[in-house]
Amino acid sequence: MAGRTAGDRRTEILRAAAGLFAARGFHGVSIDDLGRAVGTSGPALYRHFPGKEALLAAMLLEVSERLAADGRERAAACAEDPRRALEELLRGHIRFALTEPALITVHDRELDNVPEPHRRRIRRLQRGYVEEWVRVLARLRPGADPPALRAAVHAAFGLLNSTPHSAQELAPEPMAELLLAMGRAALLAEG
């Protein structure tokens, strides 16, 4: 195709791999399956990634970096209003959950297949993302201790990340509003 860059091709490969890994699991997908999914041979993918594990690492690093950056930007944009910052964090994560459910599934199931040191970097990015939420939540629930706030954030992520299993039941907009109300209620609940 005219005008397509190597970055576009890489993105296409990562998106196809996410769908296949979510549907069949990392070990259930061969390099030839991945090649066929993007209209090429499996070995041709080695021009973009040294192997299937590197592809998985790139996929999960990219999404972790993107979520971390988005969380920082959303929280910083509303630094003076923690309630609005929480709403923005929720909206950003909900948008991700509704538009990229395959990545949620792959992350939940396949992170252990990512080689070190990439796995360590992914976990560090994820901890930073959680801490962004904890900082905002601490301003809204000043009496809560950080471990309780972290637990609340992880529980809210469980709720929001359940969308690969339930998003087909509602149209995206009502589903987003439902998740926003539930996420807000879960995070602000006194426990």
Helices (H) and strands (E) in the chain, counts: 9, 0
pLDDT at 3: 62
Which residues fall within 8 angstroms of residue 160, CB to CB, at 6 or more apart?
A: 90, 93, 94, 97, 179, 183
* Span 37-85, pLDDT tens digits: 999 998 999 999 999 999 999 999 999 999 999 999 999 999 999 999 9
pLDDT at 4: 66
Can you read off the two tokens belonging to residue 23?
A: 């549907």
With cut-offs at 50, 70 and 90, classify the pLDDT of residue 191: low
Longest dimension (CA), the chain: 58
pLDDT at 1: 45
- Separation between Cα atoms, residue 164 and residue 102, nearest integer Å: 7
> What's the distance, CA 24 to chain centroid?
19
* Span 97-123, pLDDT tens digits: 999 999 999 999 999 999 999 999 999
* Span 4-31, pLDDT tens digits: 676 788 999 999 999 999 999 999 999 9
25: DSSP letter: -
- Separation between Cα atoms, residue 149 and residue 122, nearest integer Å: 21
